[in-house]
Amino acid sequence: MLLLTLLFVSAVAATPLLGTEQCARGPTYWCQNVKAASLCGAVTHCQQNVWSKPQMKSVPCDLCKEVLTVVDQILKDNATEAEVLGYLEKACQLIPDKGVTAECKEMVDNYYPVLMGIIKGELILRKWSIGPPVSEWRREVAVSKVQELNKRY
């Protein structure tokens, strides 16, 4: 009976930490994309331990490379958050596959605040000279995310 009670108590105590059943899968699931990381409360973990690590090189699509180049440049030019959001929304409209266009728009709408939080965090790190240069880190993370999207389509 004591063993059964301990098992029940440990299961109840662990439930809030695990969140959804998918989140219980661990970092492999959490860090597969921003949506999963956000739902599992693991954005910071993924930033520090997964997304900041160099990924195997592959060539992302031309549109994606162009978007990354322009976003990098407008951030260097001190663009406002509204300008970055507007550019990303317009970039989604350039995708020929309407299903992917809709998913792109949904991702921009849902995860733009998370993205800006990441960027603001990078800028703070850069200001205090902690970690890699902002553009280098941002590009590595962005390219790895683009590579993930390329694998899906």
- Domains, the chain, in order of start with CATH, read 43-152 (1.10.225.10)
CA dist list (Å): 81 to 65, 87, 88, 146: 20, 10, 11, 21
Q: How far is CA 25 from CA 14, 42, 119, 134, in A?
A: 14, 12, 27, 31
pLDDT single digits (tens) 54-106: 665 444 466 677 777 787 788 778 888 888 888 888 888 877 778 888 888 88
Rounded Cα gap, residues 77 and 94, in angstroms: 23
Tell if the pTM clears 0.85, that is, is over it: no
More reliable by pLDDT, 79 or 13: 79
Query: 88-122 in b/e burial notation, b at 16+ Cβ within 10 A?
Result: beebbeebeeeeeeebbbebbeebeeebeebbeeb
Per the model's pLDDT, the better-predicted residue between 140 and 59 turns out to be 140
pLDDT given at position 59: 41
